[in-house]
Amino acid sequence: MPGIRAPSNYSEEPPRHPALKINAKEPFNAEPPRQALVSSYVTPTEFFYKRNHGPIPIVDDIERYSVSITGLIEKPKELFMKVIMSLPKYNVTATLQCAGNRRTAMSQTRTVKGVGWDVSALGNAIWGGAKLADVLELVGISKFTSVTPAGGKHVEFVSIDRCKEENGGPYKASIPLIQATNPEADVLLAYEMNGETLNRDHGYPLRVVVPGVIGARSVKWLDSINIDSQVCQGFFMQKDYKMFPPSVNWDNIDWSTRRPQMDFPVQSAICSLEDVNVGRNGKIAIKGYAVSGGGRGIERVDISTDGGKTWKEASRYQKPGIQYIADEEKSDKWAWVLFEAEVDVQSNAVIVAKAVDTAANVQPEKVEDIWNLRGILNTSWHRVHVQVRHSSM
């Protein structure tokens, strides 16, 4: 399309921070070290996980770049950046999480297919842009519309990004129209991240941000928006990112039996310790993140030092100096909470974290119970092992 292009190879990739743990080079997929992840409530852009399906698009002429809105609507339009940027600008603090976060741990139970992620395939950013509900009003779709007069019920986002899973076609995904037209859902067409212009890895010049939903629906490098009567038929909506039971394998899978995954379930992870640690006996500081989908807050984070027999509650916070109370207006409903606890470890221990959201959803104990062949949504209790070396006097 005019002004922006998808390269045919990886010779023009943007620079990346050397501390990132690279899980795949081409396309580039990487996450920050877990301890760096929880050093701040807002994740620095360079430490925000990178999830890509092809070479990073390049903007040659921002003046010529536009987004077309077509489909089951009365007045299709082509919108240039200056029009989108003239709409009211909103800043939304939201955590994006790859559905494959913690996949590596799931694959240790039984092999799964997908990029191997540790616990850092997520990040919390302040996204700046126009609300999709305002943008859709420009093509005659009122707020809180669930179906257009022509029968449109879904909003499909099509990227400039080309990927092998679409046989060289564009990456795409959709959300229900009622979610797109509801200003309270805070769906953005974002052009800023953490107060700066989006960088190339994160969707420059324009991306969708769908808070509370797996990252795969927040399409980067937006090319067009299509109002359709059905859910997007693209690969990543129909043949990926669906939650199957442990009994389904690659021989008996029927993709049509499951809906595309949207909200992510309640999740937490300990980030101040690696999976296996050697240290002296005594007090240990435990720090990590907890987050739930759909705008649900975190009601509690429980910590155990005996593998889950007994528990103590961790303290939770978002912004420094402001008490976090789930579902209160001053709390960021789309964002993670960080948690802290101090534990006393005198012998070898398995330290466990589990979170509970405001709907009383709790993380499942065993990864085996939620194992699935694509290795998505590993929200089982997060365990780290501490081997104690007693100091000799």
Give residue-wise pLDDT tens across range 43-72.
999 999 999 999 999 999 999 999 999 999
Is the pLDDT at 368 greater than 60, yes or no?
yes
Percent of the chain exceeding pLDDT 90 equals 95
Residue 382 has a pLDDT of 98
Give residue-wise pLDDT tens across range 141-175: 999 999 999 999 999 999 999 999 999 999 999 99
Tell whether the model's pLDDT for residue 232 goes beyond 60: yes
Least confident residue range of 206-220, 275-289, 373-387: 275-289
Q: What is the pLDDT of residue 320?
A: 81
- What is the structure's pLDDT at 296? 98
pTM of the model: 0.97
| CA separation for the pair 341, 327 (Å, rounded) | 22
Say how far apart CA 160 and CA 225 lie, in whole Å: 12
Burial of 253-290, coded b for 16+ CB within 10 Å and e otherwise, reads eeeeebebbbebbbbbbbbbbbeebeeebeebebbbbb
pLDDT on residue 392 = 58
pLDDT at residue 393 is higher than 90? no
Nearest Cα to Cα of residue 339 among 312, 301, 307, 365: 301
Q: Are 352 and 382 in contact (CB under 8 A)?
A: yes
Confidence of residue 389 (pLDDT cuts 50, 70, 90): confident
Cα distances (Å, whole numbers) of residue 269 to 51, 304, 382: 20, 13, 5
What is the rounded distance in angstroms from the CA atom of residue 179 to the CA atom of residue 155? 9
**SS3 assignment, position 165:** helix
Tokens representing 179 are: 């979610």
Kindly state the average pLDDT of the residues 208-212.
Answer: 99
Region 136-141 average pLDDT: 97
pLDDT tens digits, one per residue of 73-121: 999 999 999 999 999 999 999 999 999 999 999 999 999 999 999 999 9
